[in-house]
Amino acid sequence: MKPRKQSLFHGFYCAFAGIGSSIKSEVNLKFHLFAAITAVALGFFFQISSAEWLWILLAIFLVLAAEVMNTAIESLSDLVSSAYHPLIKKTKDASAGAVLLLAVFALICGLIIFVPKMTEFFFSD
């Protein structure tokens, strides 16, 4: 029997369902979303340039995508074995490490863009 063809919309539905499920279940993803909303609000407040928006949006989407992938890796690892295994620990730790690296990148981008603007805003004559 041939597999049933999935519609393009079904693929989008599954993708959005995965994002929604990750947001509901992962505290870290909620934190990253809060940070993203804060960065976007600051971007509008300080009227950042198009180039600065590109860096902020790149950082936001890289972190969010990495966090969703981390959730997928952790879920699959838990399915494979609920018992402790050093390779599963290594997998989960590496996945979390990738998110951390991108979060540090996002923080550095935010600091480079927003610290001078905040300094000028708060300390200019």
pLDDT, tens digit (0-9, with 9 covering 90-100), for 65-123: 999 999 999 999 999 998 999 999 999 999 999 999 999 999 999 999 999 999 999 99
Q: CATH number for the domain including 80?
A: 1.10.287.3610
Q: Does 5 have pLDDT greater than 80?
A: no
**Residue 58: inside a domain, yes or no?**
yes
Can you tell me the mean pLDDT for 4-8? 75
pLDDT, tens digit (0-9, with 9 covering 90-100), for 86-98: 999 999 999 999 9
The count of domains in the chain is 1
State how far the Cα of 111 lies from the Cα of 79, in Å rounded to an integer. 39
Which pLDDT belongs to residue 3?
62
Domain holding 67, by residue range, is 32-123
- How far is C-alpha 49 from the geometric centre of its chain's CA atoms? 22
| Torsion of the alpha carbons at 81, 85, 88 and 90, rounded to the nearest 10 | 170
**Residue 100: inside a domain, yes or no?**
yes
The H-assigned helical ranges of the chain are 8-25, 27-46, 50-80, 86-123
**Residue 7: inside a domain, yes or no?**
no
Which pLDDT belongs to residue 2?
58
Q: Does 1 have pLDDT greater than 80?
A: no
Q: What angle do CA 65, 37, 111 make, to 5 degrees?
A: 85
**Residue 2: inside a domain, yes or no?**
no
**Residue 83: inside a domain, yes or no?**
yes
| pTM, entire model | 0.89
**Residue 20: inside a domain, yes or no?**
no
Nearest to 105 by CA among 70, 55, 71, 65: 55
